[in-house]
Amino acid sequence: MDGKIEKVSIVISKGGLDGVYPGLIMANGARMEGIEANLFFTFFGLDAITTKRMGRIKVATVGNPGLHLPSLAGILPGFSALATAMMKKAMDKIDIPPVPEFIAMVADAGCRLYACKATVDMFGLKKEDFCPQVDSIINVGKFYAISAGGQIIFT
């Protein structure tokens, strides 16, 4: 083995922009380098692939130390919308697409997308609730089997 990464499986478990984009960017980068990439969406990360929610993901403002603001600022009416608009504007400047477009882009590049069966069942969701790019709803055992021989990254 020459030390080159050949496969990554990325777990996206957070539903805010700061939880979804790192995984999408890493998956896209992997595919651009010819690395096999799998995305496994669980808990609130499912919002990124749920048709009704994927276009409405926001910046988490309450208790987000990365904003460098007091936590109380995050509860102000409209603050989350303002922070989300500012982040989307900054991402647009550097050509980072909106979540639905990014999901389609990584899937078109050959990344496989999976929803966590336990979370899907817990939230009462069905295959029809997800965007067409979702390959399958799988359990953790199947995720490990798909990930065998590669790196697992938790964002």
d(CA 111, CA 152): 14
* Percentage, residues of the chain above pLDDT 70: 93
pLDDT score recorded for residue 114 = 98
Domains by residue range for the chain, with CATH:
7-60+97-154 (3.40.1260.10)
d(CA 29, CA 100): 17
| pTM for this model (two decimals) | 0.89
The rounded radius of gyration (Å) of the Cα atoms in the chain is 16
| Average of per-residue pLDDT across 42-46 | 97
As a whole number, the mean pLDDT across the chain is 92
Residue 8 has pLDDT above 80, yes or no: yes
User: For residues 1 and 139, which has the higher predicted lDDT (pLDDT)?
Assistant: 139
Question: Do 28 and 95 touch, CB atoms closer than 8 A?
Answer: no
Residue 100 has pLDDT above 80, yes or no: yes
Residue 63 has pLDDT above 70, yes or no: no
Question: Do 109 and 35 touch, CB atoms closer than 8 A?
Answer: no
pLDDT score recorded for residue 145 = 98
For residue 28, report the phi and psi dihedrals to the nearest 5 degrees: -60, -45
